[in-house]
């Protein structure tokens, strides 16, 4: 485990993809992100109805468990034709009743494609949402909150080998490719997380941490 110091910040996630994306972006602000798994922090119970509220829950839990500042990301895919699904349930969209094991990315993608099977291309519009929350401490009364949206559509079949989550079926019209076909550098400059990060960095620069 890395030693605690003022520059360290616990990331309220064990997702290696998120850690890589967020670490590089925040290095210029003197923030060293360390995954909560390094501190054996248990997963928070995300029982709020919105991305922002769930990010706050995760950040407070991680900060309180470690005594460090915390950064939490709550993100997901929204498909208007499916009444906003998978939404806040994106990571567990294909969860089966009475099954404790979390569904894989492939499970979630397969369910999404099944739900959209009878929908036209025009009805396959979708967007990723990212809500970022930074807390200086667990009881921080003024958290830094930023959000980002990345608009695109859902493909009929997976494409590409990179990324994680729904990246293989999310098509970005601006770059004319699936998110999973993008290099890490390209995705890190155009994604919902990239947009939210830029807003977060602006607020970090304006505030004494």
Q: What percent of the chain has pLDDT over 70?
A: 96
Residue 76 confidence (pLDDT) above 70: yes
Residue 1 pLDDT level (bands cut at 50, 70, 90): very low
pLDDT computed for residue 35 by the predictor = 93
Mark whether 121 is an active-site residue: no
Distance CA(82)–CA(59), nearest Å, equals 29
> Could you give all domains of the chain from N- to C-terminal order, each with its CATH number?
8-205 (3.90.950.10)
Q: Which residues contact 164 (CB under 8 A, 6 or more apart)?
A: 15, 17, 105
What average pLDDT score do residues 71-79 get? 96
Q: Read off the tokens for 34.
A: 């360390």
d(CA 115, CA 98): 22
Rounded to a whole number of angstroms, the distance between the first and last alpha carbons of the chain is: 23
Looking at residue 2, its pLDDT comes to: 42
Going by their DSSP bridges, the two strands 8-11 and 69-78 should be labelled as parallel
| Average of per-residue pLDDT across 105-131 | 97
Catalytic residue chosen out of the listed positions 74, 107, 167, 206: 74
* Predicted pLDDT of residue 97: 84
- Mean pLDDT (whole number) for 159-174: 95
pLDDT at residue 208, rounded to an integer: 58
Q: Is 76 helix (H, G, I), strand (E, B) or coil?
A: strand
Please tell me the pTM assigned to this model: 0.87
């Amino acid at each position: 485990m890395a030693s605690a110091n003022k520059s360290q910040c616990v990331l309220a996630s064990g997702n290696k993809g998120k850690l890589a994306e967020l670490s590089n972006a925040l290095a210029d602000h003197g923030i060293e992100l360390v995954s909560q798994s390094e501190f054996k922090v248990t997963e928070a119970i995300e029982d709020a109805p919105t991305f922002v509220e769930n990010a706050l829950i995760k950040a407070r839990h991680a900060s309180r468990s470690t005594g460090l500042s915390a950064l939490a990301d709550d993100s997901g895919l929204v498909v208007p034709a499916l009444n906003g699904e998978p939404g806040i349930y994106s990571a567990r969209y294909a969860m089966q009743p009475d099954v404790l094991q979390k569904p894989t990315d492939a499970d979630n993608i397969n369910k999404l494609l099944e739900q959209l099977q009878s929908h036209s291309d025009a009805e396959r519009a979708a967007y990723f949402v990212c809500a970022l929350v930074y807390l200086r401490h667990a009881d921080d009364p003024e958290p830094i909150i930023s959000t980002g949206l990345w608009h695109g559509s859902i493909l009929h079949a997976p494409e590409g080998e990179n990324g994680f989550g729904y990246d293989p079926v999310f098509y970005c019209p601006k770059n004319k490719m699936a998110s999973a076909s993008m290099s890490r550098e390209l995705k890190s400059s155009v994604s919902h997380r990239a947009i939210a990060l830029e807003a977060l960095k602006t607020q970090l620069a304006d505030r004494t941490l």
